[in-house]
Structure 1
Amino acid sequence: MPSHREDPRLTVSRHAAELFLERGVAATSGDDIAAAAGLSKRTVWRYFRSKESAVEPLFAVSSLRFASQLSEWPLDISIEAYLHAVVRPQDQTPREIADDILAVRLVALLPKEPALRSAWLMSCHAAEETIVEVVARRTRRSATDFDVRLCGAAVMTALRIVDEDIATAAITDRRAFTLPEVIDRMAEAIRTASTLPICDPV
């Protein structure tokens, strides 16, 4: 059940995502998004700088949820062991699962709808800030340290590519993935991209 404190922009974002998936970005107007969300056009444009940016909150909830999980990664456990222990769909609410599925469908749409990529990259950048903090904690260095920021950026880029590859394979190519396969891909990407020793117990 959505929290009463939920960002109202997220509700609009879900409507925008559904319209983009159904009609395409070019065939969807800001007026369409406002009507679907039951809001005035003025309110929608107060929330978002463009119709494409309307999906940023949806992308962000998924990206930031995973980044938040990484922020709780204990120092005495490897990335593989930690992800297999905490990435559990049964711990998610139906709304969170629905948001994740909607976000995956949008990510798979990126090759055909490049106008959405800036929204996707904005959400990835927000998650990167959290991952930089994870790197800083595991290396006992400052989050402003260049090498820490570089490692955080590399890890987030690797995760973004995994997300894009899996979304395309699952939605466009109809390939089925098991949860352990997805987790292994994510852990491998983090380990490969890490430019600092963060993946093993520290």
Structure 2
Amino acid sequence: MSDRCGWCGTDQLYVDYHDHEWGVPERDGRALWEKLILDGFQAGLSWYTILKKRDNFRAAFDGFRPEVIANWGEADVTRLLNDPGIVRSRSKIEATIGNARAYLAIEGREGFDQFLWRYMDGAPLQNRFSSMAEVPASTPLSERISKDLKKAGFRFCGPTITYAFMQAVGMVNDHIVTCPAHDRVAALAKG
């Protein structure tokens, strides 16, 4: 019998995210950046909290346009700290502004998508875990990517956040093998 990954539960928002987004290989640099920022905001919170607020985040952060956010200053930080629709953390908001600058530097040099996907040799890692208990919180590869992101100027991208990001954007397929999404996501990785 096939069962979804247990973490998504039965809430329709979470089920839809699991079924249609989580683990699907993302190749658009700007979309990758948005997901990394949202994973950073999740630190200390549940992903469900961030998912419920995602549209609010998109509105508050001008559609996650790094070329706009990179120029923000204290007035923008204050505006965001007063926005009840997002997670109001000064350190995470300030990190997002700095991360926009770091993103633009990488994007200008080689492309943010190329920067990330080179760690995978262009192809997602296809894990075959039979239970969520087998899925790691971080890996040596997420530690390496985290270190390189930090060296490039990113914050809120430790190894655990980076691994959650890698799962979300399909750099690794961590759907358990009994989950209907496992084989579907694996097939997307080939195409």
Same fold, TM exceeding 0.5? no
TM-score computed with the length of structure 2 as normaliser: 0.29
| Bigger radius of gyration among the two | 1
TM-score computed with the length of structure 1 as normaliser: 0.28
Which structure has the highest helix share of the two? 1
Asked which structure has the greater RCO (Cα within 8 Å, sep 6+), the reply is 2
